[in-house]
């Protein structure tokens, strides 16, 4: 059962303000420049970042984009996980990966599953998420092994030409 207290307007506003403030501060840009790029008045931006005013969905996305972060990934992380994950992943390759992955996932599911799409059970979500993470970990390990092998090959080739 969902805890409805988590969706109290003041709590959601405060958590979103914390994410947006962290993004703005991590950007290294002046707030007036972010306000201009996000097409929001600088006083409205100040009030949003202070948690005094709720940001619309469009405003939140534009503030994140103007701050130089993957806007959809961070807002999605904020909604499905916690503001802590969204903040921890600010300006990281992991956030960009999550943005691309979550954007591609619906089409990939339709393409790969086809008629089986309607057979998917909600109880499989957690196990599938862990399986995808393990698959990604194995993929990274394989790429690192290949990099080491290629590094050894190139090091041997360079050494052979000098002697």
For every residue of 29-96, DSSP letters joined together read: --HHHHHHHTT--HHHHHHHHTTSSPPPHHHHHHHHHHTTS-HHHHHHHHHHT-HHHHHHTTTSHHHH
Q: How far apart are CA 142 and CA 129, in angstroms?
A: 20
| Residue 100: other Cβ atoms inside 10 A | 13
Tokens of 114: 């086809």
Quote the pLDDT of residue 24.
97
Average pLDDT, the chain: 88
Q: Where in the chain is the domain with CATH 1.10.260.40?
A: 1-89
Backbone phi and psi for residue 40, each to the nearest 5 degrees, phi listed first: -135, 140
pLDDT above 80 (res 38): yes
Global pTM? 0.73
Q: List Cα–Cα distances, 158 to 22, 32, 155, in angstroms.
A: 46, 52, 5
pLDDT above 60 (res 116): yes
Question: Residue 34: exposed, middle, or buried by beta-carbon count in 10 A (0-12, 13-18, 19+)?
Answer: buried
Quote the pLDDT of residue 9.
80
Average pLDDT value for residue range 69-96: 85
pLDDT above 90 (res 8): no
| Pick among 3.90.180.10, 1.10.260.40, 1.10.460.10, 1.10.3720.10: CATH of 1-89 | 1.10.260.40
The model's pLDDT over 126-161, given as tens digits with 9 standing for 90+, comes to 999 999 999 999 999 998 888 888 877 777 766 655
DSSP per residue, 106-133: HHHHHHHHGGGGGG--GGGHHHHHHHHH
């Amino acid at each position: 059962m969902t805890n409805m207290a988590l969706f109290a307007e003041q709590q959601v506003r405060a958590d979103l303000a914390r994410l947006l403030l962290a993004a703005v501060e991590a950007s290294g840009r002046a707030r007036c420049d972010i306000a201009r790029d996000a097409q929001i008045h600088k006083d409205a931006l100040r009030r949003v970042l202070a948690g005094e005013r709720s940001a619309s969905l469009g405003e939140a996305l534009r503030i994140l984009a103007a701050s130089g972060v993957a806007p959809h990934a961070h807002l999605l992380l904020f909604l499905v996980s916690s503001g802590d994950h969204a903040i921890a992943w600010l300006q990281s390759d992991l956030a960009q990966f999550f943005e691309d992955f979550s954007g591609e996932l619906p089409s990939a599911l339709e393409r790969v599953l086809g008629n089986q799409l309607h057979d998917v059970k909600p109880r499989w979500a957690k196990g599938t998420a862990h399986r995808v993470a393990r698959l990604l970990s194995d993929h990274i390990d394989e790429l690192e092994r290949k990099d080491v092998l290629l590094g050894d090959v190139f090091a041997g080739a360079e050494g052979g030409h000098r002697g």
